[in-house]
Chain A
């Protein structure tokens, strides 16, 4: 269970990205974090694994106080937190397999990792995950030869091979087309369910969020302004988060679109994008 208490972040420029945010994510819950650009979504999840140093507040992951840790302990904790990125953030000149195995870096020594001598159990797991995301036929392809959807699948495998307790997902679908976006979101949510993982998913697309996550938190100017079930996210709440807009028109369109969608299109044809 992740427990964030009074987390604040002020950048050197003087911008308050987060203002005393408190949030609890129970085990196994998939949480969608929505809000306008610049609301602090990205800062919030980066504070959890301290890619961004929080200014104050505490982060408690299953009893470990992340904000207090020195670099060695922090690395140990980062191993338990998988992260998936908007632009995939694969190391483009490494192969698919090397990218997936890089998720195990926290567990192997420098020289072993330099010569790519990972334990057989890691390699087995990598093959298993690549099969699960439908990419086991591209093991030795270089990451920059892959399409967007395929790259994000590799990104997912890299996060999962860490055997994480928590998944941080930063705009996983922002660079993908609508169909691939759904496939990727479905894949992430299925995998979380299979493994009983909790996840925080930053997401721009409100309709997509409502479709897949169990709980939605709305962030506005660094503060939590909504926290509840996807169903209770109506136009007044959206106005509160994003500002004035004719929400009925857009959400109706989205709703009808949702009904037409075929729910079975995930990972049957992984190379379609």
Chain B
């Protein structure tokens, strides 16, 4: 068989007791592709990540990574993977540099190589000046960058990132994004989970939307938006405790109307036109916003729930 996909999974299932965290998903990822798992907390993303990083065994189904089987070739697979877990899990008592060097040693790299790569990766993640500081003293963004650097110590062919920028300030997210983009250009296959739609749109060539352990949609970010949402969205807020009461009156103005606790969303092709029509019908929201559809809207349409709740 020709190894066309760098990673393939068929009917992947993960059970914890009676609870089915992952319910029979299929994935095929190409070499050099940047692939995303989008979904809210508890969608089964992390369980999936742990299976495809050859750490936990699937309860059912098969995985092939580099054409190898994680059940028998776990160490070989893991030596070619980089993993950036959701929790940094850094060695707080060690210096920044020692964290990288020690991690490299787990891959049986000689000390000289480990030192060279640590220096290189500190530069890459802009941590050179903090090389001798204890990890405990780093900011959240720096810890994240160090965790990314750590995941690159073995020069992985696939880098798996679980929520790479969750918990970071908006401005602290740009540096990791830029570095991941560079890796992608160098041909590293990226697998990313996120519940941020902007992250998925920035980084992913293709993604699957996961909900309650299943894949509910798959495609490029743009094409998912085209398929599962309208071009624009009008967000209206009213002075009311229950936006539901506006549902009937606004339905005629849009292809689809979603009522959220604090606002109401109208899915339309031309937001400005719709807003004008709404005002003409003597409906006066306390605030109104026209924006382009995003993956958040795709998710809302597919599951009836919001991503970040």
Specify whether A and B are partners: no
